[in-house]
Structure 1
Amino acid sequence: MVLPASAVLGQKKNLEVTAGIGLTINGLKAKATDVTGKAVDTFYYDGTTYVPVRAVGEALGQTVAWDSAGQSVAIGTKGNDAANDAAYLSEYFGISRLNGTLSWATYNSALEKIGFEKAAASGTLTAATAAKSLVAAANMTELALTYTSQEASEACKRYGTISAADAPYVACAIEMGLIPNSVDFTAALDGDTASVLLMNAVEASGKGRNYIGFSNDPDIAQRLTSTWNSFTVFDDEALSKLGVEIVSSGATTGYNLKYDGNAARFLSGNTIQYGHDNITHAVQLMGLLNRAGLVARVQLEPKVSVYEYLLEWNDGKMPASTPTYEVRQVADNLYLTYAVEYDLQLEFSSQADRNAFDGIIEEYAKKYDDNPELEGLIYSSWWQPLYSTKVQMSAPQYQQIYDVVVRNGDYTIHPFATAETLGAVQGKVASAASGLSVTPTRIWVNAAFYRYITGTSHQ
């Protein structure tokens, strides 16, 4: 087969290739197509097999985009995003944006702010000479030292001249995903590359995000369901006592109890928090994101939703308790429900993708009076879905309220307040929460939930 002339970085070439090469992805036979679904060739030429980048990239759960101006292909929304990595290092570790060629002093300062050991500065700072410090930060030094000198040299031969001293650490860093194998290992380390490498070490060491996967992972439904099935009612005695006081006082109608160990620690600017009580709803929501071409990191945070229970709901009887649902009598005429629900944390690759979330929920996951048959909505859609973000959003889609965070060690409760009710809630919490930390935090919630908590509309 003679491949037709084509423009590649301004050059035209006619090549004689071997066509009809089969394609298997993750053990399954695959058909390579272009963006319109038209079949495209896979072929072999001069010792290399060529396959369509879009077909392979999307099959592996990555987005693929063509930049006509720069004549380049951009692959992936899953990690290794220099801008988001730099923003994360700034938000959680106070590291200013790393720019230009880095010195050892700047690199070591960043390591120390994260809580890692400083590197032994030697020679030019490159990805190769930084590898030892990255491997140590990720707690993989012993693994690196299992490489023999021959194994390390063989693993690194594709990446330029790597010293024998650096080779085992480079080999380990590549194998464990600390350094992408597309990096120029021998070039002076620049700020963007350093941000990616440091963030990879942060994630590997457990100091970064806490999540179960990506929304477009093939097994995300199983991961969500399995995680949900592990949840049970949990408690904190001091916070529960405080919760009873603030609900009985009428300052708030309820609150959520959460545990830090489940926190996603996502990048705030790109994140939406979505609350619900049905895991099938969360699974189907992943399908909505996939259909819209949106990819997000996903964490399922358990929460105990506490609110007043009226006995008439169950003909004057106390309902039976389950591992995920319990009603407690906390005063003569006050019963509280303790129900396990979840906050679905979604960190998108960009703020534009995050902003698209509201429209998806409004169309496919929100009940309205003019849709009595609930046609076209995903399972267990609510009148007042609840989702929020910690960064300012525009009205009327979002409105500002306060999450009054009360902390006792690793546990927190979260009563909501509007600007008008904040004083009452905060005052009651402060007077009853001796020794506990109280932090009113501004959040922006979707319009439907804002109408619900302000009593302006049932929908």
Structure 2
Amino acid sequence: MKNHLQLGTKLLLASAILLSTTAVGSNSLATASGVPASTVSLASSAIAKEYALFLKEKYKVILQEKVTRGQYASAIVAVLGTNPSIAAVSASAKASERLSAIEAVQLALNASGLEELAYTYPKVKVQKTLASLKLNWKANAYGSKVAQQLAAAVDTGLLTADYYGLIKNNSAASSSLTTVLLGKVLEAKGEYKHYIGYSSDSDIFSKLNDAYSTSDIIKAPELQKIVDEALKQNLVTGYNLKDSRFDANFIDSLSLTYGHSDLKHALQLIGLLRSEGIKAKVQFEPKTSAFIYLKEWGDPGVSDLYEVVQIENGNYIEYAKEYDIAFEFGTASDKARFDQIVLQYAKKNEDKQPGLIYGSWWQPLYYSLTELNNYKKISNNKIEKGHYYAQSFSLKEQSATVTSGFKKLDPTVKVINYDFWVDGPFFNYLNGESK
């Protein structure tokens, strides 16, 4: 989660961006200057609420109903974390003024990195695109940069039809509009949620198959040098390698992560959720799990699903191709239901147990970054290098030992520790139980 940035100088600079990129005036564009209430569809309202929750949880950004230039500018700074080029314009005197809808769209377009696209629009293309807005503009206004920016915002989906009325009437920006624009900016910059689809999609099985078949065993030599040595010294019993570029970035309060190794199990798990009436966003996160393979187990053989490296004592380290599936549920109650569904249909309690989906484990692994009933708190011990990271889960009381062990192996390494909540059977596994 990104930290909320303080305002101060960054607020003034971002406000200056807003002022320097705005060339809107009621004289040239609009014949009406009132601030009517916008009519927003139920679908758009739901999208705005989803964006609003994301902005609140990830960035601590909450937009008030009467959005000022300063508030919007500070929100842009908070979600992007950097400032684009700005003109030498004093912003402090304008920060408290109401933000117009057109200004909000302009800055969102620029923050999304789409400004150059806008300036490719000839006047005739602008007029054609903006016809659906039914603007009360003079003919020469369609040749302005503002018109080009609005047209590009419409064509790229940054400005949706629910907010055309605010533009037509040269109205003040609403919190709904600015929230949606910020969400669209995050999407354009790759900073919003990442998912291959919904559990209810007709092609979700195809997408899962494609994601699995194109994933490979992850290799991160610098990280593996540390965690492999930790395995050899029995500091940890196993670890995962993952690539942060696949992280779902879901809203913590509505999401959890489920780990497994068999694709058929994942397909049946999605089908199970659908049969239980649960719709959730789905992200496939490739994962490689490493553990000690004992020499007395016999020749490990060769497979596309794992690799082995023999170590000094004759044992092996096995690197197995696995995955995490991140789910974001529509409601907290659906997230809470997941545990009981898995325990009933995807948790093995006896050999050859009927009524379970394929590949059910004795100790399934799924976890949440927020507290849930019947889940147990444990710790993650994580090290990073670039976009790769290695992590090993442990009981809370063992976390300090794992951390100090990593640091002894490499004094320069930064260990990231945090607590989270895991399902009961996996907690039992960490305590040495077999079921």
Q: Which of the five TM-score ranges fits, normalised by the shorter chain?
A: 0.7 to 0.9
The equivalent of 2:213 in structure 1 is: 229
Q: Distance in 1 between matches of 2:346 and 2:86?
A: 50
Q: Secondary structure at the match of 1:416?
A: strand
Q: Distance in 2 between matches of 1:294 and 1:407?
A: 34
- Percent identity reads 31
Shift in Å, 1:82? 2.9
Q: Distance in 2 between matches of 1:408 and 1:205?
A: 22
Candidates 64, 67, 89, aligned match of 1:99: 64
TM-score by length of 1: 0.75
The equivalent of 1:333 in structure 2 is: 314
Q: Distance in 2 between matches of 1:405 and 1:241?
A: 14
The equivalent of 2:395 in structure 1 is: 418
Shift in Å, 1:305? 0.1
The equivalent of 2:370 in structure 1 is: 391
Q: Distance in 2 between matches of 1:282 and 1:341?
A: 11
- Aligned residues, how many? 377
The equivalent of 2:384 in structure 1 is: 407
The CA deviation string for residues 403-443 of structure 1, in whole angstroms up to 9 with x for no partner, is: 11112232211111102322322221222132111011101
RMSD: 2.7
The CA deviation string for residues 134-171 of structure 1, in whole angstroms up to 9 with x for no partner, is: 22222333433444434433433443536534443333
The equivalent of 2:102 in structure 1 is: 128
**2:415 paired with 1:438:** yes
Candidates 34, 42, 48, aligned match of 1:82: 48
Candidates 254, 264, 275, aligned match of 2:248: 264
The CA deviation string for residues 157-200 of structure 1, in whole angstroms up to 9 with x for no partner, is: 44353653444333332332223312243342222331221111
Candidates 140, 154, 158, aligned match of 1:178: 158
Q: Does the aligned pair in 1 maintain the 2:104–2:178 contact within 8 Å?
A: no
Specify whether residues 119 and 105 from structure 1 end up closer, same or farther in structure 2 by C-alpha distance, changes over 3 A only.
farther
Q: Secondary structure at the match of 1:139?
A: coil
The code of the aligned residue for 2:371 comes to Q
Q: Secondary structure at the match of 2:397?
A: coil
The CA deviation string for residues 353-375 of structure 1, in whole angstroms up to 9 with x for no partner, is: 32222122122222223xx5443
Specify whether residues 363 and 159 from structure 1 end up closer, same or farther in structure 2 by C-alpha distance, changes over 3 A only.
farther
**2:302 paired with 1:320:** yes
The 5 A counterparts of 1:128-277 are 128-161=102-135, 164=142, 165=144, 166-183=146-163, 184-186=165-167, 187-277=171-261
Q: Does the aligned pair in 2 maintain the 1:269–1:351 contact within 8 Å?
A: yes
The code of the aligned residue for 1:411 comes to Y
Q: Secondary structure at the match of 2:311?
A: strand
Shift in Å, 1:204? 1.8
Shift in Å, 1:336? 1.0
The code of the aligned residue for 1:404 comes to N
The CA deviation string for residues 302-341 of structure 1, in whole angstroms up to 9 with x for no partner, is: 111001102333xx3241243x311111222331110111
Shift in Å, 1:383? 1.5
Q: Secondary structure at the match of 1:435?
A: coil
The CA deviation string for residues 41-76 of structure 1, in whole angstroms up to 9 with x for no partner, is: xxxxxxxxxxxxxxxxxxxxxxxxxxxxxxx99448
Specify whether residues 452 and 363 from structure 1 end up closer, same or farther in structure 2 by C-alpha distance, changes over 3 A only.
same
Once the two structures are overlaid, the 10-residue window that deviates more, 100-109 or 146-155, is: 146-155
Candidates 355, 361, 375, aligned match of 2:342: 361
Specify whether residues 267 and 116 from structure 1 end up closer, same or farther in structure 2 by C-alpha distance, changes over 3 A only.
farther
TM-score by length of 2: 0.79
Shift in Å, 1:346? 1.2
Q: Does the aligned pair in 2 maintain the 1:256–1:306 contact within 8 Å?
A: yes
Specify whether residues 379 and 110 from structure 1 end up closer, same or farther in structure 2 by C-alpha distance, changes over 3 A only.
same
**2:354 paired with 1:380:** no
Q: Distance in 2 between matches of 1:294 and 1:413?
A: 31
Q: Distance in 1 between matches of 2:186 and 2:41?
A: 28
Q: Secondary structure at the match of 1:255?
A: strand
Q: Distance in 2 between matches of 1:118 and 1:125?
A: 21
* Structure with greater helix share of residues: 2
The equivalent of 1:350 in structure 2 is: 331
Q: Distance in 1 between matches of 2:277 and 2:158?
A: 27
Q: Distance in 2 between matches of 1:289 and 1:445?
A: 19
Q: Distance in 2 between matches of 1:291 and 1:173?
A: 40
Q: Does the aligned pair in 2 maintain the 1:364–1:377 contact within 8 Å?
A: yes
The equivalent of 1:450 in structure 2 is: 427
The equivalent of 2:26 in structure 1 is: none
Shift in Å, 1:344? 0.7
